[in-house]
Amino acid sequence: MTLSIRDAVPDDAATIVRFITELAIYERAKHEMKADESMIRSTLFGDCPHAHALIALQDDQPVGLAVYFFNYSTWLGHRGLYVEDVFVTSSARGQGAGLALMKALARIAVDNHCPRFDWQVLDWNQPAIDFYDAIGAEARREWLSYRLEGEALRQFAGSGATHHD
């Protein structure tokens, strides 16, 4: 068995959507998924990509995905790396693809002088939590995630003070 990690390319768009769909199903959130191939092509591979992706290959067959982007830490005064998603197909779990993806992400962070990289995990996803604990990651339990989306976002954006350039 040969395991490798490579940067995703535009021809991977269908595979990326398939993996995102599998992840959404696993995370019990398929109804929230809106991404399609054209969105993936434009946002990951367009003129100004919003994020980047890695593909894990086992014997030259795609078995995993990591999507990441660079964020910014005001406390550190430096950019960091944020992992949006890490996914390995059920048939390839436990064979090193997840570890290889996380190590590749760590190398990208180090190569880009990022002092840290962050991600989130659902509180019920014990296999992922155990994996992250095993690689030495620190759970940040004192932080809560917040989100504005959909109509609540539009209503909030339309109220009160406005921003002018």
Q: Is 7 exposed, middle or buried (0-12, 13-18, 19+ CB in 10 A)?
A: exposed
Q: 113: which 2 tokens? A: 């002088």
> Cβ atoms within 10 A of the Cβ of 25, count?
11
Give catalytic status of residue 132 as yes or no: yes
Candidate list 26, 72, 82, 132, residue with the active-site label:
132
Query: 22 with 87: CB under 8 angstroms?
Result: yes
Kindly provide the b/e burial profile for residues 95-129, where b requires at least 16 CB atoms within 10 angstroms of the residue's own CB: bbbbbbbbebbeebbeeeebeebebebeeeeeeee
Distance separating alpha carbons of residues 150 and 93, to the nearest angstrom: 34
Strands (E), the chain: 3-7, 52-58, 61-73, 78-88, 117-118
Question: What amino acid positions are annotated as catalytic residues?
Answer: 132
